[in-house]
A and B are shown apart, each in its own frame.
Chain A
Amino acid sequence: MKRSSDLTFRLGTGLFGLVLIFIVAAICFELTRQSMLSIHKFGFNFWRSQTWDPVSGEFGALPFIWGTLYSSILALVIAAPISLGIAVFISELSPAMLKQPLVFLTELLAAIPSIVYGLWGIFVLVPVVRSFEASAPAALRALPIFSGPPFGVGMLSAGLILAIMVTPFISSVAREVLKSVPLTQREGAYALGATRFEAIRAAILYARTGIIGAVMLGFGRALGETMAVTMVIGNNPRISTSLFAPQHTMSAVIANEFTEAADPLYLAALFEIGLVLFVITLAINGCSRLLIWSMARSASGSRAAATATPAEVAA
């Protein structure tokens, strides 16, 4: 009796697991099916071409791929250290009184709808960014990364707004990860005479796979974020290294042009952009999995990182 209910339970949950695989496969299939026209017409050139001209029916995804990766990486560069700082402060250093309010505030940030971030971006962030761009010294403006006229809207604004949006996600997960570091780790470090900073460092090192996981989660969110980005990035499908230049992202072009795309090739090209985004997201998630696995394996090899570090610290 017990065994049979065990079996049903296993089969039942297994079925739910299969549903997940089925959904992913169905999305991939449907995206491919709908973009067939564009795949046939442009082939691999779709990934390389920089032209996006609905009038003449020339479509290429490169400016959008570039814009998506650029803005997301920029956001991570800004958000990762800040989020980690927040997580460490809340979990290790904050006085008990401050802890709950801070946790509440980070969660509040995550709950704000992205259109609200977008409006705030247009009316508050963009003017600030514009005056910063306009007042940037000429020597700085000579660098390609800071070149171009000060529009305000552009890559810098998009990166900043994305950074604000992913910070609560990264810091919440990182905080949970730090919380799960066994108390014995810290006690061990203190027992060996570590300072507070050294003990925290040991805890971070112990939890590093989880922290990288948190950052990758933020990356995934930044890749797909649409509304807030499209409102501040300038929506110009031209590749530029400049932070000041208006650019475009994959999700933004789909949201912007889908409703009015009436001819089949145009529609197929937009579907293929979706497919490209899907593939890239999948690839990045896969890579981060691999990274975490390889780190976990090398860590368990010596059960080391954690136990060794306090020892090193003491030495």
Chain B
Amino acid sequence: MKKTLTGIALACSVIVAAHAAQTMRINGGGATFPNPIYSKWFSEYNKLHPTVEINYQSQGSGFGIQQLTQQTVFFGASDGPMTDEQLKAAPGAIMHFPTVLGAVVPVYNLSGVTAELKFTGAVLADIYLGKITKWNDDAIAKLNAGVKLPATDITVVHRSDGSGTTYIWVDYLSKVSPEFKTKVGVKTAVNWPTGVGGKGNEGVSGLVSQTPGAIGYVELIYALQTKTSYGSVQNASGEFVKASVDAVTKAAAGAAANMPADFRVSITNAQGKGVYPVSSFTWLLLYQDAKDKTQAKTMVDFVKWALGDGQKYCSELGYAPLPPSVVKLELAALAKVKTS
């Protein structure tokens, strides 16, 4: 009896040991925005390659950059590209790889207004600067001829937590309004001149839906999933575009023509037809010359898969897939990651 038990225990430990020897565990962390699709990718990839287990902690872009710099994770993820200072602080060269695209949309609460409102970047910037304070302001009325706008006060709602969503929003507003750029600037959290802060997309959307006359901004995915209606924004070519997966991918395609070699590019207010202007990449961060070459090799294989087959999971989760032109550039850059 005892012998059998020992035998079983031995067999088990041999199996476990064999499993552990083969399984490649890779740890990463960072942005919360792409977490749903990254989780999907990692589990799908694990089905195809049972020996690869990728572990992702979605604790924020700042966390990802910090942990990557300290080399406690193998890869990072961020909604905003790393700054030159941050790159310099890292112990080795870090490469950026755009994985999917996201967009930020304006949401509002105006009882009695059923038509979908149109905004320009300049008007949104002035609202967020506290310069336009009434809904029936001429600047808004001019864009929305035929809509009867009430004389309600505008309540500005922004994110209270640091987030990639805020980064994309203020990045866009800073590009279209020089005053916004000097007074507020671009960062994951900024010093807002006006308004109230809600925590997370759900906090902002909760405040907007509760407050008559409120305007806020949320991720496109969040608006789609919760079926919140949102306004359209004028792009650089003068068209009013309502955000959609297509319009966001177009923004990236427009940027592919003069893509910098390190992919650290903002695609807000991009040129082109049908482009939604408040769009952005989200990036995966890898060391070019990582210590562990087997892990590097596995990650490169994974990223290749994610940029190819992986992109088909985008639409079901509400992300915009990368345009083929960008994927081609990335595959070329991926070859530079040292795997041996």
Bound form: Cα–Cα A18–B207 in Å: 47
Which of A51, A230, A259, A263 contacts B85, CB < 8 Å? A263
Contact A231 B197 (CB under 8 A): no
B160 and A54 contacting across the interface, CB-CB below 8 Å: no
Query: Could you tell me the distance between the alpha carbons of A237 and B190 in the complex, rounded to whole angstroms?
Result: 11
Asked if A235 contacts B199 (CB within 8 A), the reply is yes
Interface presence of A286 (CB below 8 A): no
Q: Are A56 and B62 in contact (CB under 8 A)?
A: no
- Assess whether B63 is in contact with A234, with CB atoms less than 8 Å apart: no
Q: Per-position contact with B for A229-267: 1 when CB-CB < 8 Å, else 0? A: 011001111000000001010001001111111111001
Q: Is the CB of B161 within 8 A of A54?
A: no
B163 contacts A153, C-beta separation under 8 Å: no
Which of A54, A122, A255 sits near B191, CB closer than 8 Å? A54
What residues on B are CB-neighbors of A256 within 8 Å? 160-162, 189, 197, 199
Identity of the chain B residue whose Cβ is nearest the Cβ of A119 in the assembled complex = B206
Residue B339 interfacial (CB < 8 Å): no
B258 within 8 Å of A (CB atoms):
no
A236 contacts B195, C-beta separation under 8 Å: yes
Q: How far is the CA of A256 from the CA of B210 in the complex (A)?
A: 21
Q: Which residues of B contact A44 (CB under 8 A)?
A: none
Of the candidates B153, B187, B191, B197, which one forms a contact with A235 in the assembled complex, judged by CB atoms under 8 Å apart?
B197
Q: Is B185 a contact of A122 with CB atoms below 8 Å?
A: no
Q: Is B60 an interface residue (CB 8 A)?
A: yes
Contact of B189 among A127, A153, A260 (CB under 8 A): A260
A160 to B338, CA, bound (A): 58
Whether A259 touches B195, Cβ cut-off 8 Å, given contacts A55-B186, A127-B210, is: no
Residues of A within 8 A of B32 (CB): 259
Contact call B203/A231, Cβ cutoff below 8 A: yes
Q: Is A186 an interface residue (CB 8 A)?
A: no
Q: Confirm or deny: B235 has a beta carbon within 8 angstroms of a beta carbon on chain A.
A: no
Question: Would A236 and B211 be within 8 Å (CB), given that A56-B185, A261-B62 are in contact?
Answer: no
Contact between chains at A246 and B197 (CB < 8 Å): yes
What size tier do the contact residues of chain B reach? 35 or more
Q: Output the least CB separation between B172 and chain A (Å).
A: 15
A107 in the interface (beta carbon within 8 A): no
Asked whether any CB of chain B lies closer than 8 Å to the CB of A130, the reply is yes
Measured CA separation A248–B189 after assembly (Å):
14
Name the contact of A230 in the complex, choosing from B60, B160, B187, B211 (C-beta under 8 A). B160
Is A190 engaged at the interface, CB distance under 8 Å to the other chain? no
Partner of B162 from the list A53, A154, A259 (CB cut-off 8 Å) is: A259
Whether B191 contacts A259 by the Cβ 8 Å rule is: no
When chains A and B are docked, how far (Å) is the Cα of A12 from the Cα of B86?
48
Given A235-B197, A236-B195, A55 and B210 contact (CB-CB distance below 8 Å): no
Verify if B269 is at the interface (C-beta below 8 Å from A): no
Contact B61 A236 (CB under 8 A): no
Instruction: Decide: A236 near B191, CB < 8 A? Known: A259-B161, A262-B66.
Output: no
Q: Knowing A54-B189, A126-B210 touch, does A230 contact B199 (C-beta < 8 A)?
A: yes
A274: chain B residues at CB < 8 Å are none
Does any Cβ of A come within 8 Å of B325's Cβ? no
Decide yes or no whether B249 CB sits under 8 A from chain A.
no
Kindly provide the distance from the CB of A161 to the nearest chain B CB, expressed in whole angstroms.
14
A153 to B185, CA, bound (A): 26
Contacts of B198 in A (CB 8 A): 231, 235
Complex CA gap A258/B163 in Å reads 10
Contacts A236-B197, A262-B66 given: A149-B186 contact, CB under 8 Å? no
- Which of B66, B85, B206 is the one whose CB lies under 8 Å from A123? B206
Check B65–A262 contact: CB distance below 8 A: yes
Contact with A along B152-183 (1 / 0, CB 8 A): 01010000111110000000000000000000
Cβ contacts under 8 Å, A149 to chain B:
153, 155
**A55 near B187: Cβ-Cβ < 8 Å:** yes
Contacts of A255 in B (CB 8 A): 161
Across-interface contacts of B191 in A (CB, < 8 A): 51-56, 237
Which 6 pairs between the two chains have the least Cβ-Cβ distance?
A260-B162, A259-B60, A235-B197, A235-B160, A55-B185, A262-B62
Q: Could you list some 23 contacts between A and B, CB below 8 A?
A: A53-B191, A54-B187, A54-B189, A54-B191, A56-B185, A56-B191, A122-B203, A123-B210, A130-B210, A152-B210, A153-B207, A231-B203, A237-B191, A256-B197, A258-B62, A259-B32, A259-B60, A259-B63, A260-B61, A260-B161, A260-B164, A261-B62, A262-B66
